[in-house]
Structure 1
C-alpha cells in the first residue's frame, strides 16, 4: 500500500480489525520508509459498477466508475458540525454502496445514487438531509429551502 505522506510503495500492517458494522476491515499501517502511520479500509466489491451522469447539454450522458469516496465526501459535508458519529456516516455510505452493487445493474444513474443518499440522510439527521438536498436539487432561492424544510417538517410530524 502506497504511503499517503511520502508515496513509498511499501507499508506494514500493524493492526487489523473489522469495522463496527462488519462491512470492512480497518487496517493501521506504518510506512517502511518515513515511519508515518495511516489507516486503510478493505471492503468487498461485488462487481464493477458504472455511474451514468445526466448531461445538461444535448448529447450523450457521461459514464464513470462508481466511486464510494464521492458519496462519503458528500455525506460527510452534509453532516459537518452536526455531531454525527463517523461510524453512522460509514454505515450510510456502506448501505448505499450495497444497494447499488446488489441492484443487479452494471450501470446505475447518478440520480438513483443521489436519492439513496438523501433517503439515508433523511433517516439520520434532518439538517444534513436538507443540506444535501440543497446541493443535489440545486436550490436557487431561500424559498426553495423554506418549501423543502416545510415538507420535511410535515413528514416528521406524520
Structure 2
C-alpha cells in the first residue's frame, strides 16, 4: 500500500498542492493550515480502521467517498482525527491518493518535497531485513547467542531460580 508522507518543516505554504488537487477534482482534498509560522498539509491518512468509514450511515466511505451514497450528514467530518474530510456541495470529500495516477497530483506539484509517497510494504520489508541483520550480528561467532536462544535461556534461568525459592 502506498501512503502520502507529510513533512511540515519543508512546506512553505505555496498551496501548489491544493491547486493541483482542485484542478483534478474540482475542489481541493488537501488543505494547508498555518500555526506559529509553520505550514501543515492536512490530508486523509487512509486509516486502516477509519472512524469516518465506521460512522457513515450509508457506507459511502472506503478509500474514496461514493457521492451517490453520501447523504451529506457530515458525521465523517466530525470524527476524522486529522480534520481531513471536508464537505463540498453537501457531499463529503477526502483524499483518495489519486488512484488513477502514478503519483498523486499534490505530491507531483510539491516543489519543496513536503509531500512524498512511500510504499508501506517495501518499508516494512526493509525494516525487517535491518532487524534480522542486527540480530545476526549479535550472534556472529557465538553459538546460542541469537535472540531466541537468549530469551529462552533467560526464561529457563528465571524458572530455575523460582523453583529454588
Alignment TM class, shorter chain as reference? under 0.3
TM-score by length of 2: 0.21
Q: Which has the larger radius of gyration?
A: 2
Greater helix proportion: 1
Greater strand proportion: 1
Q: With CA pairs under 8 Å and 6+ residues apart, which has the higher RCO, 1 or 2?
A: 2
TM-score by length of 1: 0.22
